[in-house]
Amino acid sequence: MGKLSRALGVGVYVSLVAAASIFAPAQSTAGSVRPDGTVVINDLPVPISSSLSPEAHAYMLHLLVDKPFSEGPSESDIKALRAFQDKIMNGFLQPIRSRYQVDIEHKTVAGVYTDIVTPSDGIAPKNKDKVLLNVHGGGFITGARTAGLVESVPIAAIEKIKVVTINYRMGPEFKFPAASEDVAAVYAEILKEYSPQHIGLYGCSAGGMLTGMSIAWFHAHHLPNPAAVGVLCAGLGEMFVGDAPRLAGPLNGMSTPGASANKTGGPRPTLAYLSNANSKDPLVYPLNSTLLLARFPPTLFVTSTRGFEFSSVLEADNALVRQGIETELHVWDGLPHAFWYNSSLPESREVYDVIARFFDSHLSK
């Protein structure tokens, strides 16, 4: 029984916006970046995508040329790492809170700390008996109380629905399946008040992975499917598969895997949360079981062509479609992993609308 060969790196906090530190250190080859943001890879110039909005173009230029997230604390200093990531997330959260008016209640549900986000002008009458559950990104190491609000506030305000963001247990203090247990505990409590047909579950990056893990955990522990799920900037199997992990680094002006990468050429296996997990276990990677995939609820995928998860998302979408599961796949060109955390981009607001419409459609059936 093999251990996880290619886990999400601790540095996913940076990858949320620049797909940076999951790749090898600076001694390996990176694409050079011209002042206009064009990346040159083995003499091949790749300009910033012409399909981007002016705001997204400016953001990509900033990420590529200025590299604002390229420096951070050591992976071994978890306290500093979390503080650094929280600073980044709060930088995204402040304009979101200004744009979207919500109320936030801190509440313990089934022994798990949560943030309950509701629109300040009230939940829509059609959504009084509906709720969304969110599981935040952050590499299963960071993101508690920050990334979850970045993911939840816009959706609560736009859809005028209650969103419960779950601050699940993370590594290195806890190991798999602690997060799945926490999500299931909150879900079981929510089921006392809401019908499963009126519950949605979604998350981004590690939260997207945890969304898939949670569906597997629900089935293993005889909990019903929610009405629909959003697996955002993640797939249902190993994250670093296919072309995307090798291309995302250079396309974002970062390094390709080098000597410190694992023998398969993938990123460093530094994720503490999954260090004891089995890569063949469907509770870790639902993609391992066609029987499980055939029982998935309707699933929304969101990704981008410069996201390291792009290939993993395509693999997951194809796998669900083969099992006859309803999916929606939305891909934005030329943007990095979890770009939609930046609410100043029109493309991000398109993602918010996609998420809101998806759950509005499926929770209303």
Specify whether the backbone of 122 is left (phi greater than 0), alpha (psi in -120 to 50) or beta: left
Sign (positive/negative) of CA torsion 261, 307, 214, 193? positive
Q: What is the pLDDT of residue 12?
A: 37
CA distance 204 to 242: 20
What φ, ψ does residue 135 adopt, rounded to 5°? -125, 120
Q: What is the pLDDT of residues 255-286, one digit of tens each?
A: 654 333 443 443 333 478 999 999 999 999 99
Q: Residue ranges of the chain with pLDDT lower than 50? A: 1-29, 257-270
In a domain, 2, yes or no: no
CA distance 85 to 73: 10
Task: Write the CB contacts of 310 (distance below 8 Å, at least 6 apart in sequence).
Answer: 242, 243, 244, 248, 303, 304, 331
CA distance 130 to 229: 14
- Closest by CA position to 99, among listed 363, 358, 352, 362: 352
In a domain, 289, yes or no: yes
Count CA atoms closer than 13 A to 229's CA, side-chain side: 31
In a domain, 265, yes or no: yes
In a domain, 169, yes or no: yes
Residue 357 belongs to what H/E stretch?
helix 346-363
CATH number at residue 333: 3.40.50.1820
In a domain, 279, yes or no: yes
Residues 215 and 347 sit within 8 Å (Cβ to Cβ): no
Q: What is the pLDDT of residues 41-87, one digit of tens each?
A: 989 999 999 999 999 999 999 999 998 877 788 878 899 999 999 99
Structural domain harbouring 106: 12-363
By three-state DSSP, how is residue 82 classified?
A: helix
In a domain, 38, yes or no: yes
- Closest by CA position to 136, among listed 70, 79, 201: 201
In a domain, 4, yes or no: no
Number of domains in the chain: 1
Task: Write the CB contacts of 354 (distance below 8 Å, at least 6 apart in sequence).
Answer: 300, 302, 328, 330
Distance of alpha carbon 262 from the chain centroid:
23
In a domain, 294, yes or no: yes
